[in-house]
Amino acid sequence: MSQATRIERAPVVLKLEQVSRWFGNVVAVNDVSMTIGAGVTGLLGPNGAGKSTLIHMMSGFLPPSSGSVTVDGQATWHNEGIYRRIGLVPEREAMYDGVSGWDFVLANARLHRLPDPKAAARRAIETVDMLEASSRDVGGYSKGMKQRIKMATALVHDPDVLLLDEPFNGMDPRQRLQLMDLMTELGRTGRVVLFSSHILEEVEQIAGGIEVMVAGRHAASGDFREIRRLMTERPHQYTIRSSDDRALAAALIADGSTSGVELGDRLNVQATDYTRFAHRLPVFARERGIRLYEVTPADESLEKVFSYLVNR
Ligand SMILES: Nc1ncnc2c1ncn2[C@@H]1O[C@H](COP(=O)(O)OP(=O)(O)OP(=O)(O)O)[C@@H](O)[C@H]1O
């Protein structure tokens, strides 16, 4: 992706004060207060934690049941002036297959009543490096390409606040890196860039600060290293696929960084010392000529860590 516009702007503040939102009897967001400033912030939490609900309220598409969500002191809900300052990349795809990427972004530029919608659409599409493919129909795009066109749509009016719901879903490693660079650049130019994820490692790579949600509640906030340290004190579970799971399991069990391994379709490992495990695993594999195909943090373990944060 090409570099985002470098225009510096006055730092923006997105503020939530005692925000709750319920759907019938379900409390999706429960008394959440947070202040998010310029830069990249990760909104982290297990499935169903309330991340999407929070993002919808931040974007002004959903009213809080109680409390307030403001950008620079102005409520986001039902506020047209604020809509012009916010860009949203929703988790779900709300795109028409028979429409080209170009038309999709242009339609949004027109909805924002931009003075030169074509120039704005072109700039946004260039930013996400999709100019060449933009004349093709969205139906033929890969998941990653759709994600980039959604991003162009959110950027077309050059918003101060960019909200992204699980933006890395379905992206290959190269696309992930490109998006991470773009988000970092946007954050550096004074914008609020907030993205949700349930994957800790993703957030770790780009977020300056993090906000952790668990079961609708605000569980932790602020410095990533501090929260990470709390998390590393708990055992982490990983699922591994390799060319020789059995030999890898034997090596790991002999090492002090794991407290348990389970050999089935895949190799499940419980790492007690995360740093040592992350360092030793590739070394073991290389020494034994084993190829590592996949190392994935298992979600349940993160959920345990999250609930640990809430209950501490
Ligand atoms: N429109 C709705 N009607 C009823 N319940 C809802 C609605 N939207 C969300 N919920 C409920 O609110 C809770 C929080 O959901 P939300 O989608 O905000 O979580 P999330 O952290 O984004 O999860 P995920 O990572 O799975 O998207 C869940 O229990 C969900 O079932």
Q: How does pLDDT run across 216-252, given as a tens digit for each residue? A: 999 888 776 666 666 666 667 788 999 999 999 999 9
Sequence-ordered alpha helix ranges (H) in the chain: 51-59, 80-83, 101-111, 117-127, 143-155, 173-188, 200-206, 224-232, 245-253, 274-287, 299-311
pLDDT on residue 2: 46
Q: Which residue has the higher pLDDT, 299 or 171?
A: 171
Task: Give the strand pairing for 161-165 and 86-89.
Answer: parallel
The percent of residues above 70 in pLDDT, for the chain, comes to 88
pLDDT band at 176 (very low <50, low <70, confident <90, very high): confident
**Residue 53, ligand 1, Cβ within 6 A:** yes
Nearest to 217 by CA among 60, 2, 55, 20: 20
ipTM of the complex: 0.95
Pocket test for ligand 1, best of 23, 43, 47 (most atoms within 8 A of CB): 23
Q: Is the pLDDT at 163 greater than 50, yes or no?
A: yes
Structure tokens at 120: 């704005």
pLDDT on residue 236: 74
Pocket test for ligand 1, best of 16, 53, 91, 214 (most atoms within 8 A of CB): 53
Secondary structure class of 119 (helix, strand, coil): helix
pLDDT on residue 151: 93
**Residue 25, ligand 1, Cβ within 6 A:** no
Q: Whose CA is nearest to atom 25 of ligand 1?
A: 47
**Residue 49, ligand 1, Cβ within 6 A:** yes
pLDDT on residue 4: 46
Which domains are delineated in the chain?
A: 14-230 (3.40.50.300), 233-311 (3.30.70.100)
Q: How does pLDDT run across 257-273, given as a tens digit for each residue? A: 788 899 988 899 988 77
Q: Is 170 left (phi over 0), alpha (psi -120 to 50) or beta?
A: left
Sign of CA dihedral 198, 200, 201, 207: positive
Mean pLDDT of the 2-13 span: 61
**Residue 249, ligand 1, Cβ within 6 A:** no
